[in-house]
Amino acid sequence: MSELTSALDNDQPLLVADSLSKNYGRLSACRDVSFALYPGEVLAVVGESGSGKSTLLQLLSAQLEPSAGRVSYRMRDGVLRDLASLGEAERRFLFRTDWGFVHQDPAQGLRMAVSAGANVGERLMAVGWNHYGRIRDTASNWLERVEIDVGRIDDAPKTYSGGMRQRLQIARNLVTEPRLVFMDEPTGGLDVSVQARLLDLMRSLVSELGLAAIVVTHDLAVARLLSHRVMVMKGGSVIETGLTDQVLDDPREPYTQLLVSSILPP
């Protein structure tokens, strides 16, 4: 049995959201969201801007404190822990090693003025790697995996195209072999042809590595291509959830039907 199938048949959730809510004064940005994510599973959160999907992503990745409810994560020792109860060292471990975060704008996830090799190597050094040759080999290996010419390893990402920057951001995130990756509109600012290449790359990396991922997107095609399951959000609440092809081919809620029917055929 491959790593992926064994990960997918794993019965213990990796992350559990329990009645998560976030209020800003009287505004409720995220309301009573509960779900479990399993190892190797890709969950898409879809909805239009203002639906609360980005707030949810920040709550799930401990960048924002919930007003109510909690998020639990299964640490590598197998114990499910409330994120709010983690110590500083454990939080650092999650952010630097066990989690990845792919931002819509690569400039947020990369250091634009240092070389591509250093961008990838930095995450390794943060977890204690100190052999320059090994770091450089691993970095160039990852550049190859994300289809960046290794000859560009010493160039800074500010000299890269948008698609290359996004692929570099992915390499930087995956180099520490995280178990969970958060992605916020990962194909957002890219040309359609560049999007297709990136999606194909993400799809194969996620399945090869058996990664779990939570992908926030307003693009239903991205959800269809990448995710196993989808949650549709509107006005801060999850209004429909299920298998991705089921929700997209047989949408139940009026708003989901509207979203699905609003796609222009190519």
Q: In the complex, which residues of this chain contact other proteins (CB under 8 A)?
A: 1-2, 4-5, 8-9, 38, 41, 196-197, 199-200, 203, 207, 225, 228-229, 242-243, 245-246, 249-250, 252-254, 257-258, 261
C-beta of 126 vs 263, nearer to other proteins = 263
Phi, psi (rounded to 5 degrees) for 31: -130, 115
C-beta of 123 vs 234, nearer to other proteins = 234
Q: What is the DSSP letter of 84?
A: G
C-beta of 64 vs 201, nearer to other proteins = 201
Q: 166: burial class by Cβ within 10 Å (0-12, 13-18, 19+)?
A: buried
Q: 194: burial class by Cβ within 10 Å (0-12, 13-18, 19+)?
A: middle
C-beta of 2 vs 161, nearer to other proteins = 2
Least gap, CB of 20 to other proteins (angstroms): 20
Least gap, CB of 220 to other proteins (angstroms): 13
Least gap, CB of 251 to other proteins (angstroms): 9
Quote the CA–CA distance of 176 and 135 in Å, as a whole number: 11
Least gap, CB of 196 to other proteins (angstroms): 4
Quote the CA–CA distance of 54 and 244 in Å, as a whole number: 19
Least gap, CB of 130 to other proteins (angstroms): 34
C-beta of 119 vs 227, nearer to other proteins = 227
Quote the CA–CA distance of 34 and 112 in Å, as a whole number: 37
